[in-house]
Structure 1
Amino acid sequence: MTDATVASEKPRLHGKLGPIAIVFMVVAAAAPLTVIGGNMPLAMGLGNGAGAPVGFALAALVLLLFSVGFVTMTPHVPEAGAFYSYVTVGLGDRLGKGIAVVALIAYTAIQVGIYGYIGWAIDDTVKFYGGPQIPWPVYSFAVLAIVAVLGYRHIGLSAKVLGVALVLEIGIVAVLDLVIVADPGPAGVTFASFTPEVVASGALGIAVLFALTGFIGFEATAVFRDEARDPQRTIPRATYAAVLIIGAFYAITCWAFVVAIGPDNVAAVAQQTLDGNANMLLDTTNDTLGRLGRDVVNVLLLTSLFACVLSFHNVIARYQFVLGGKGLLPRRLGEVHPGHQSPAFSSVVQTVTATVIVAIFAVLGIDPLVGVFGSMAGVATVGMVLMMLTTTTAVLVFFLRNPEAAGGRLWQTRIVPVAALLGLLTSLWLVLSNFTLVTGGSAGLSAVLAAIPFTGLVLGALLWKPGQAVNPPTS
C-alpha cells in the first residue's frame, strides 16, 4: 500500500464544535488572566510603562493582519494541522515537516513552562493561606494527571471544562475593569496611555514582545478543523473572533490598571512586582474589590493556568495525530479511540513527554518561574513568530502559483499578507534582540534557547524524504 493510499484512508476526528466552542479552546490557551498577572507587569516595568496598552494593541494588529491570509487560504487546506498543513500546501513537504517540528517544540515548551508556573502558583497560594510548603513538582504532576484524563476523552468534555473556567476568568476581570473605571485612581479616568509622548516614553518594542507571548496558540482554530461543525465557516469566524477578543481583553485591562494606579506610578509598581516586592494583579484587585475579590482572582488565576495547559495538551495531541496519519511520526499516533473519538494514544504519548521533561526540571532543581516558565516561554515565543513568518510566506507563494484560487482578491492574497510579513519580521527582531528579558537567563543560555526552534526547522526539513508525506489536497 502506498503512502498516498494510507494518507487518504487515515482515520479522521469528528465533532460538532461551533465557533464559540473553538474560541473557548483558543482563548483559554492564551490564558488571559495569566497574561494580565505575568506579561502585563513585564510590559510595563521593562517596556514603556503607562503606554503598554498600545503594545498589546499593536501585537493584536500584527496577528489580525496575519489572520487575513491565514483565513483566505483555509478553504484550500482541508486538513487539520494548522501551520504544518498551510506550509505544506504553500511551500512543500520539506518545509512542512520542518515547521511541524517547530510546532511540536514550541507547544511542548509552553506547556511544560505552564506546568512549572502552576506548580509554583498552587504552592504560593497554599502557603499564603497558612498551608504547608510542598515542592512545586508535586502540584505540577497532580495537574498533569487531571489533564491526562481529560485529554484522553472526547474534545467536547475539554471544551466544556475550558468554557466554564474561561467565563469565570473573563467575568471577574470585566468586573474589575468596570469598578476601576467607576472609581478610578489618583489621576482619574485618563487616556494618557494613548498619547504619543507616553507611548514613546520607554521601550515600546518590549511591550509588543511580551504582548505577543500572550497570543501563543491563537491559530489552533485550524487544529480543530475535523471536529468543527462547518469548517469552511467555523474556522475563519473563530480565528478572527479569537484575535479580536484576546487583543481587546489585554489592551482594555492593561489600560484599566493604568487608570487604577495612575500613569505616573504604574511603571514603578510593575517593577516592584518584577522584584517580588508587590503583586500588581492581586494588590490592585484587593484595593478595588477587597479581600474577597482578591481571593476569587487568586483562585481563578489557578484555573486560568489549568485551562491553558489543558488547551495546549489538546493542540499538541492533534498535531501528533495529523503527523502520525501522514507517516511523519509513528502511525499509531494517528489512531482514533473507538469510544471517545479522540486521539487517545497521541494524548497518552503527550502526557508521557510532558511528565519526563517536568521530571528532569524537578530533579535538576530548576526554579519553576524563571528557570522553567521563563526559558520555555522564550522558546515558544521564537517558535510562534517563526511559524507565522513561514505560514505567511506560504500564503503568498500559494496564491502566486494559483492565481485562480485568489479570485482577484488582491488585498487578502497579496497586500495584507505582505504587511503581515513585515510586521512579523519586526516582531522576530524584537523578540531576538530582547531575548534575555524573556528567559531571565544569561546571553549564552538565551542564545542556545533561541536557536532551538530554528534547529528544529532545519532538522525537520533535512530529515524529510521524498514519498514520506503527501501534500494535502488543494481544492
Structure 2
Amino acid sequence: MSVNANQLRGSIGVVGIVFLVVAAASPLTTVAGSLPVMIALGNGAGAPLTYVIAALVLLVFSVGYATMSAAVTDTGAFYTYVTKGLGSSVGVGAAGLAVFAYTTVQAGVYGLAANTIQSLVVKYGGPDLPWWVWAFVLMAVVGLVGYRNIDVGTKVLGVLLVLEFIAIVALSVAVFSKGGAHGVDFDSFTPDAFFSASPGIAMMFAIGSFMGFEATAIYSEEARNPKRTVPVATYAAIIVIGVLYAVASWAVVLAFGSDRVAAAAAADTAGLTFDAAALYLSPAAADAMAIMLVTSLFATLLAFHSAISRYVLALARKGFAPQRLAAIHHRHGSPHAGSLLQSASAFVVVGIFAIVGADPVLQLFTWMSGVAIVAILVLMVLTSVAIIVYFHRTSSDNRWWHTRIAPLLGSLGLIAITALVVDNFTTLIGGSDTIANVFLAGVAVVFLVGVVAGKIVAGRRAGAEPQKIEPQNVEPENVERTPSTS
C-alpha cells in the first residue's frame, strides 16, 4: 500500500493523546505556578469554582468540536475547522492566531522554566548562569525530541505526567486527611467566593490552564480510529484537567484556610504550594516537587512544540506556507521541517527578551501567556461559529445539540470569558495601558494579516488555473510525421 509522503504516521490511542493534552496544560506548573498567582490577584478562595466553570464551558464547546473532528480528519484542527465553515481566508487568519498563541506561550514557558532551573542550580551549589543560557539548552533538547517521531514524545510525557499526578494527588490527600488548617469546608464553591475580588483575572488563569486541549484533533492523523479516539480523548482530557485542578486548588485553599489563603498567597506567591507540601507532607517532598516543576515545564514545552510544527505542516499542505515545510521525515514520520522552524522562532523571541534584559517570569512568561490566552479565546469563538455554519450548510449531521445548540452556547460562554479577560488584561501585564493595547492590537493584526494573505493566495491560485481546452482532431503544425512502417 502506498503512503503519502506528506502524511503523518502513527497509532496513538486515547491515553496517549490525553497525555499530550494534559502535558500541554502542565498540571504541576498550574498548581505550583499559576494557582498561587490566581489566588493572590484573582478571587482568592474562589479559585476551585473558577476551574469548574472553565471546564464546563469548554466541555460544552467540545461537543461541537468533537463532532467536527469526526466529520473532518486533519492535523490543522482549529485552522481546518474554521476553513471548512468560514472559508479559506478566515481559516488562514485562524491559523495565524493559533501559531501566534502557541509560539508566544511557549516562549513564555521557556522563561519560566529557565528561571526555575537557574534557582534550583544555585540552591544546590551550582554555577549562577544567566537564565537565558538554560532557556537555550532547553530549546536544543525540545527541538531534538520534536524532530523525531511523536511517539518518542508520548513516552517521555507519560513518565513525567505520572510523577506529576502522584505529587499533586499526594498533597491533596494529605491536606484532606489532616483536615486542612481549619477543617474541610465548601466555601470555595459558593457564588460569593467566585465573585470576590477579581474573578476576571482568576478566569484568565483558569482558561490558560486548559491551553493545549486542541491537541486531541491535531494528532488525528496519528490516532487509531480518529473518529472515535479524538472525541473520547477531548472529553476525557477536559474532565481530567478540570477535576484535577478543582480538587488540587481546593486542597491548597484548605491548607491555609478559606479566609487566609489570599493573604498567604500575596505574602509568598512563588512558594505557596511548596509551603503547603512542606507542611502537610515533608520538606523533602516540597523539594522534590520543585524539581518536578522543571520536568512539568519541559513536558509543556514539548507538547506546544509538537502542536506548532503540525500547524505549520497543515498550512504548507494548503499552500499558505512554503512547500518545503510540508515535508515529512522519511524515517521518523515527523514534521521535521516545521519542527526546525518552530525552534528558530522560539530562539528569536526568547533572544529578544534576553537582549533587552527583561525579567524571565514577570515579563517574558506573564506577558506572553496573557497574549496567548486572548488569541486562543478568539480562535475558539471563531471555531464555534464555523462549526455551526459548516453543519448548517452541509447537513452531514442533523443532531441539533451537537451541531447547533452546544456550539452556540459554547461560543456565548467563550465570548463572556473573553470580555472578562480583556477587561483585566492591563492588570495581567503590569498595569500599563499602552503595552496592553499594543498586545491586544497585535492579536487583531495577526488575524487580519492572515485573512488578507489568504485572499491574496486564493486570488493567485484562481488566476493561475490553466484554461481547459477541448481536444480536437487537428494535426499540430510544424511537427514532423513519423514515416509509416507498413
Bucket of the pairwise TM-score, normalised by the shorter protein: over 0.9
Hey, what's the Cα distance between the residues in 1 that align with 2:373 and 2:403? 26
Dislocated runs of 4+, deviation >3 Å = 467-470
Match of 1:228 among 223, 227, 230: 223
Aligned to 2:160: 165
Match of 2:30 among 28, 32, 35: 35
Match of 1:213 among 178, 190, 208: 208
Aligned to 1:415: 405
1:385-396 mapped onto 2 (5 Å cutoff): 385-396=377-388
Aligned to 1:104: 99
Aligned to 2:52: 57
Aligned to 2:173: 178
Match of 1:362 among 311, 330, 354: 354
The yes-or-no answer on 1:310 pairing with 2:305 is no
Aligned to 1:443: 433
Encode CA deviations 1:340-395: one digit per residue, 9 max, x unaligned.
11111211111111112211111111110011001110110011101100000001
Aligned to 1:154: 149
Paired amino acid for 1:387? L
Aligned to 2:417: 427
Paired amino acid for 1:98? G
Match of 2:248 among 223, 237, 253: 253
Hey, what's the Cα distance between the residues in 2 that align with 1:24 and 1:48? 29
Paired amino acid for 2:177? A
User: Secondary structure of 1:406's partner?
Assistant: coil
1:223-372 mapped onto 2 (5 Å cutoff): 223-274=218-269, 279-372=271-364
Q: CA deviation at 1:468?
A: 6.5
Hey, what's the Cα distance between the residues in 2 that align with 1:115 and 1:406? 42
Encode CA deviations 1:100-125: one digit per residue, 9 max, x unaligned.
11111000001100011111010111
Would the aligned equivalents of 1:54 and 1:193 in 2 still touch at CA under 8 Å? Answer: yes
Aligned to 1:136: 131
**Equivalent residues, number:** 458
Would the aligned equivalents of 1:87 and 1:95 in 2 still touch at CA under 8 Å? Answer: yes
TM-score, normalised relative to structure 2: 0.92
Hey, what's the Cα distance between the residues in 1 that align with 2:71 and 2:191? 42
1:15-30 mapped onto 2 (5 Å cutoff): 15-30=10-25
The yes-or-no answer on 1:457 pairing with 2:447 is yes
Q: CA deviation at 1:142?
A: 0.7
Hey, what's the Cα distance between the residues in 2 that align with 1:295 and 1:469? 58
What is the CA RMSD across the aligned residues, in angstroms? 1.6
Would the aligned equivalents of 2:52 and 2:246 in 1 still touch at CA under 8 Å? Answer: yes
The yes-or-no answer on 1:200 pairing with 2:187 is no
Paired amino acid for 1:127? V
Aligned to 1:89: 84
Encode CA deviations 1:12-37: one digit per residue, 9 max, x unaligned.
10100001001111100111111112
Hey, what's the Cα distance between the residues in 2 that align with 1:22 and 1:410? 28
Mean alpha-carbon deviation: is it higher for 332-341 or for 193-202? 193-202
C-alpha spacing 1:357/1:198, structure 2 compared with 1 (3 Å)? closer
Paired amino acid for 2:397? A
Hey, what's the Cα distance between the residues in 1 that align with 2:448 and 2:62? 25
Paired amino acid for 2:190? T
The yes-or-no answer on 1:114 pairing with 2:109 is yes
The yes-or-no answer on 1:406 pairing with 2:382 is no
Hey, what's the Cα distance between the residues in 1 that align with 2:383 and 2:53? 20
Hey, what's the Cα distance between the residues in 2 that align with 1:62 and 1:430? 14
Hey, what's the Cα distance between the residues in 2 that align with 1:97 and 1:199? 37
Hey, what's the Cα distance between the residues in 1 that align with 2:431 and 2:294? 26
Would the aligned equivalents of 2:200 and 2:423 in 1 still touch at CA under 8 Å? Answer: no
Q: CA deviation at 1:330?
A: 0.5
The yes-or-no answer on 1:123 pairing with 2:115 is no
Encode CA deviations 1:27-49: one digit per residue, 9 max, x unaligned.
00111111112221222112221
Hey, what's the Cα distance between the residues in 2 that align with 1:149 and 1:60? 33
Paired amino acid for 2:393? R
* Structure 2: unaligned runs, 5 residues or longer: 463-486
Q: CA deviation at 1:204?
A: 2.5
Encode CA deviations 1:202-249: one digit per residue, 9 max, x unaligned.
332322121011111111111111111111011101111111111111
Would the aligned equivalents of 2:49 and 2:189 in 1 still touch at CA under 8 Å? Answer: yes
Q: CA deviation at 1:467?
A: 5.8
Paired amino acid for 1:370? L
* Structure 1: unaligned runs, 5 residues or longer: 1-7, 471-475
Q: CA deviation at 1:469?
A: 7.9
TM-score, normalised relative to structure 1: 0.94
Paired amino acid for 1:368? P
Hey, what's the Cα distance between the residues in 2 that align with 1:273 and 1:282? 10
Mean alpha-carbon deviation: is it higher for 13-22 or for 200-209? 200-209
Would the aligned equivalents of 2:146 and 2:339 in 1 still touch at CA under 8 Å? Answer: yes
Q: CA deviation at 1:73?
A: 1.4
